[in-house]
């Protein structure tokens, strides 16, 4: 008799293609509650699956796990299927995960327009969630052509954020810091550099994030 349990290394689609949507939901929730190395690896496989519904569940699980799961998503920005790169960028942006900024800057040049747009939106989301100094620092250290392209992308979408990034990049003290990922926008050093600047008035609220799984194109379950 075949073992009905998920074996190590078995893809989730092999285990779930004959199950209903509720089984898929229970499966992802079970992985989320475990949150060990194997569970995170299987959640990554869910992000690589053809099923839009399974990817949507996995995105939501990673969002709830926050920094516990974010590190495993960063390598996905440079590999895999277009919808996996898109999902990873979207989750990292919504989590404002600052270590993802350098690869997101490169991902915004992706040949797939959906992936590139998701990377740009993620960068702006990080910039609006205490990550402007990390974004400015990464831009400052990026190759000049990459820096020009990203600033142009951001200016087209959010002029206020663009202007703040340029101000931050002119601050030699901030740009010389080695550990910028640990320096958030509410740090005293950042605040003191922007005394008299009405940040919220300049930028307004950040753009509404897309619903996880939107802009799909994957084949599989589409009925939530």
Worst-scoring range by mean pLDDT, 3-7, 76-80, 180-184?
3-7
Q: Residue 185 domain-assigned?
A: yes
Q: Residue 104 domain-assigned?
A: yes
The rounded distance, in Å, linking the Cα atoms of 116 and 104 is 9
What is the pLDDT confidence band of residue 217, given thresholds at 50, 70 and 90? very low
**Residue 136 near residue 165 (C-beta atoms within 8 A):** yes
**Res. 40: pLDDT tops 80:** yes
Q: Residue 86 domain-assigned?
A: no
**Res. 100: pLDDT tops 70:** yes
Largest Cα–Cα distance of the chain, in whole Å? 72
pLDDT at residue 160, as a whole number:
94
The rounded distance, in Å, linking the Cα atoms of 100 and 123 is 9
**Res. 21: pLDDT tops 60:** yes
Write the DSSP symbol of residue 48.
Answer: T
What is the pLDDT confidence band of residue 198, given thresholds at 50, 70 and 90? low
**Res. 130: pLDDT tops 70:** yes
The structure tokens 């690869």 sit at 103
What is the pLDDT confidence band of residue 220, given thresholds at 50, 70 and 90? very low
Q: Residue 124 domain-assigned?
A: yes
Q: Could you tell me the residue range of the domain that residue 130 belongs to? A: 98-205
pLDDT at residue 7, as a whole number:
40
What is the pLDDT confidence band of residue 205, given thresholds at 50, 70 and 90? low
The rounded distance, in Å, linking the Cα atoms of 139 and 120 is 13
**Closest C-alpha among 170, 90, 102 to residue 139:** 102
Which residues are CB-contacts of 43 (< 8 A; sequence separation ≥ 6)? 28, 31, 32, 58, 61, 62, 69, 72
114-117: long-range pairs with CB below 8 Å, 24+: 114/82, 114/86, 114/215, 114/217, 115/82, 115/85, 115/86, 115/89
pTM comes to 0.77
Q: Residue 21 domain-assigned?
A: no
Instruction: Please give the residue that has the higher pLDDT: either 149 or 224.
Output: 149
pLDDT at residue 197, as a whole number:
55
Q: Residue 195 domain-assigned?
A: yes
The rounded distance, in Å, linking the Cα atoms of 84 and 74 is 11
**Closest C-alpha among 42, 203, 47 to residue 125:** 203
Q: Residue 154 domain-assigned?
A: yes
Query: Count of domains in the chain?
Result: 1
Write the DSSP symbol of residue 187.
Answer: S
Q: Residue 162 domain-assigned?
A: yes
**Res. 209: pLDDT tops 60:** no
């Amino acid at each position: 008799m075949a073992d009905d349990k998920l074996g190590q290394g078995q893809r989730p689609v092999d285990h779930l293609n004959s199950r209903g949507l509720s089984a898929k939901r229970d499966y992802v929730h079970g992985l989320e509650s475990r949150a060990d190395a194997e569970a995170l690896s299987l959640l990554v496989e869910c992000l690589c699956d053809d099923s839009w519904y399974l990817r949507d569940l996995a995105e939501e699980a990673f969002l709830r796990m926050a920094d516990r799961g974010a590190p495993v998503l960063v390598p996905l920005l440079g590999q895999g299927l277009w919808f996996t790169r898109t999902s990873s960028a979207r989750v990292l942006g919504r989590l404002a995960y600052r270590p993802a900024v350098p690869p997101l800057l490169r991902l915004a040049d992706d040949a797939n327009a959906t992936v590139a747009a998701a990377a740009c939106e993620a960068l702006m989301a990080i910039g609006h969630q205490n990550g402007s100094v990390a974004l400015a620092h990464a831009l400052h250290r990026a190759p000049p052509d990459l820096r020009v392209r990203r600033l142009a992308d951001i200016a087209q979408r959010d002029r206020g954020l663009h202007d703040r990034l340029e101000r931050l990049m002119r601050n030699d003290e901030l740009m010389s810091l080695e550990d910028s990922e640990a320096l958030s926008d509410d740090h005293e050093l950042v605040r003191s550099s922007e005394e008299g600047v009405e940040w919220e008035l300049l930028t307004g609220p950040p753009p509404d994030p897309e619903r996880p799984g939107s802009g799909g194109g994957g084949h599989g379950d589409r009925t939530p």
